[in-house]
Every structure is written in structure tokens, then in C-alpha cells.
Structure 1
Amino acid sequence: MQGRITSFEKKEFIYWFLNKFELQRREAAWLLTYVASNATLLDHVHFVDNTESLSKSICIASRCSNNRPFIFTKNRRTSDDVETAFYDLRAYSEEELYICLSFKGNSISPEYAAVLEANPMDRQNLTQNYAFSLLAEIILDEVSKEYRKRTLYDEIDRALAERNKEKFLQLSEEWRLLLET
């Protein structure tokens, strides 16, 4: 996965893909040909592994794939109608479009890897997951500290009740250090 992929590279890849694989829906091939021929649209096209949480995406499967033939998603609404996708692409060619292709060997294809980009929502999800794990760690630390305070307080009381000066001084020092952190 790279950073910036040129429109020329995307166009070349689309033509390679169309020459190499037969799609489950012939209209999807026409749609990809339209995408390859539209420079404005190509500037906003991104090839991704998955389209989860993306606002506008198209998933296309070749005949050698068991996935659904065609899925167009925009703002969480999905359609299997290629014509709907075509009219949207024509009307809103400057919106970001994420395309996921399902074909035999896509995970090991150097041609696909050359144009493949990371799903931007994956990075956001990773950031959110990191933030949640950090928050959970902070909460766990606080709960652990509160539990240790309670048990230490009980142990100090026990040392006092048993008149164990050595144990009392050791636990009091631990209590002081715990309060400083």
C-alpha cells in the first residue's frame, strides 16, 4: 500500500483488471471503463481492501469470486444496481470513491498491491481503539490503586490492633508512597 497513486496508474490498473478478469455483472465492467475514462473521477478513486465505514464505495466481484457481484454504498445505503452507481458517479464526480475488487489472487496480486490504499476509516478505528484502551488502562490503574488503599488501610488497622510496630511502620511507609503517586 502506497501513499499517492497517480490517475495514470489507476487507469492502467483498471484496464489490466478488465482484460484479465470477467466480471459477474457485465454492467460493472462498463462502469469501470467509465471510471477509467474520467480524469476527474480517477483523481478521487481509491482502491481498498475493505469498504467498512466509508461514505461512498463500490465492491465488484469477478466470476472467480464467491462474493456478491456488485454493491454500491453511499451514506450507509446500499444498492446492487449499477445504473444507480453510474448516475451518482456522473453527478458527483468530485466525491471520494472507494473501490474494492474481489478476484482470484487479489491478496497476492502485485498489480492490485500497486494501487491499493489503506481504508482511511481503519486508521480512525485504530486511533479510537488506542484511545479506548488508554482510557481503560487509566481506569484500571485507579481502581487498582483504590483497592490497594482499602486493603492497606485494613492491614494498618490490624498491625495496630496486634501492636506490631515494625509491621505498622512498614505499612505506613507504603501508605505514604501510595498517596504520593
Structure 2
Amino acid sequence: MEQMVSNMQKKTFLRWILDRRLLTNREIIWLLHYLMSNDQLLARIHIVDDVSELNRSMTISDFRENDRIFRYVKETVETNDPEKAFHDLRMNQDEAVYLQLNIDSVRRSPIYFSVLEENPHSSADVHEKYGQFAEHAADEAELAFTINRLNLAINEALDNGDKELFYLLSKQLKEVRKHS
């Protein structure tokens, strides 16, 4: 089952990565900004969990000892230079490009699962492979949102001097935390 991911979803995801300063390499950051600014090219970018057996791919990793932080492959040519990848992407905007992110904090986030697509050469279904993990991540995000909303409401009740509402919301917050 192929998942269609809109350019807006991809831009939101890439912006989320950049806003968290998960990448430190200036050229990779520039490359992601370029992808976000070019709708035609962004439509050809597919975020996958594994780029093996694909003719045109990019892999971006956080810093690890034995892992390169950037790898761009086009058929049999490979480079670790984001600038060379930029030039190829700029000149060839009609071919699909598959992007793999080896960044732990990204791969555990619900936003990652919202843009994750299937590798066309893989028999594994993304939804079967990550469905349960994605549900768990979404549940955690929902819980965090609920706790944050209750904390804001409690602060507002305190600011307004509303003791009844404060006690009611505090009780709700205690129940939510107890069941989490």
C-alpha cells in the first residue's frame, strides 16, 4: 500500500527537524532548506526507513563513530558531499529520491510516521512494521498534549483566583497521570 504524503507534510516534518537543531552540518541544513523551497523536487522526495536497493537515495545520520552523517547515491555513484548531492538534485528534478533518516529522536516521533512511505523494492509493509510503535507514539503525544492543556488551564484558574476550577483541574491532572 503506497502512502501519499503531501509537500506540506514533508515541509512540516523537515521544519520540525531543523527547529530542534538535530543536525549540525551546515551543508545538510542548507540542503534541507533547499528541498523545502522547491515544491517540484520535494514532490519527488520519499521518506523511507531503508534505502537499500534504490537507485537514487540520500541518508542523513546523527553523529556516530562508524556511520557517515551524509550519503548520496545515484545508481553506481556515491558521495558524502551534500554540495554534490545538491547540484545533482537541482539538475535532475524529475526522478524520485528516497531519504532515510538515521536519527533516533526522529525515528521515535509521531511526525516521522506521518511522512514515512514504503520502499518500492521492499516486501515489508510500513504499516505492519511500525503500526504498533506509531500507535504508541501517538498515544504518548496525546497524553503529553492533555497534560499540557490541563497545566495551562490550572495556571489560568490560579491567575483568575478560581479555587473550584483549580481543584477540579488538579484532580483531573492527577487522574490522567495515574492512568498513564
Alpha-carbon distance in structure 2 between the residues aligned to 1:8 and 1:65 = 34
**Structure 2 unaligned runs (5+)?**
125-180
Alpha-carbon distance in structure 2 between the residues aligned to 1:62 and 1:5 = 24
**Structure 1 unaligned runs (5+)?**
125-181
Within 5 Å, give how 1:98-137 maps onto structure 2: 98-123=98-123
Aligned residue for 1:21? 21
Instruction: Give TM-score, length-normalised by structure 1.
Output: 0.63
Instruction: Give TM-score, length-normalised by structure 2.
Output: 0.63
Alpha-carbon distance in structure 2 between the residues aligned to 1:26 and 1:6 = 26
Alpha-carbon distance in structure 2 between the residues aligned to 1:14 and 1:57 = 17
In structure 2, relative to structure 1, the CA distance for the partners of 1:79 and 1:113 (3 Å cut) is same
Deviation at 1:66, TM superposition (A): 6.3
Aligned residue for 1:168? none
Aligned residue for 1:82? 82
Aligned residue for 1:40? 40
**Equivalent AA in structure 1 for residue 5 of structure 2:** I
In structure 2, relative to structure 1, the CA distance for the partners of 1:62 and 1:22 (3 Å cut) is same
Alpha-carbon distance in structure 2 between the residues aligned to 1:21 and 1:66 = 22
**Equivalent AA in structure 1 for residue 120 of structure 2:** P
Deviation at 1:93, TM superposition (A): 1.1
Aligned residue for 2:153? none
**Equivalent AA in structure 2 for residue 77 of structure 1:** V
Q: How many residues align?
A: 124
Contact 1:65 1:103 in 2 (8 A): no
Aligned residue for 1:148? none
In structure 2, relative to structure 1, the CA distance for the partners of 1:56 and 1:95 (3 Å cut) is same
Alpha-carbon distance in structure 2 between the residues aligned to 1:65 and 1:11 = 29
Match of 1:123, SS?
coil
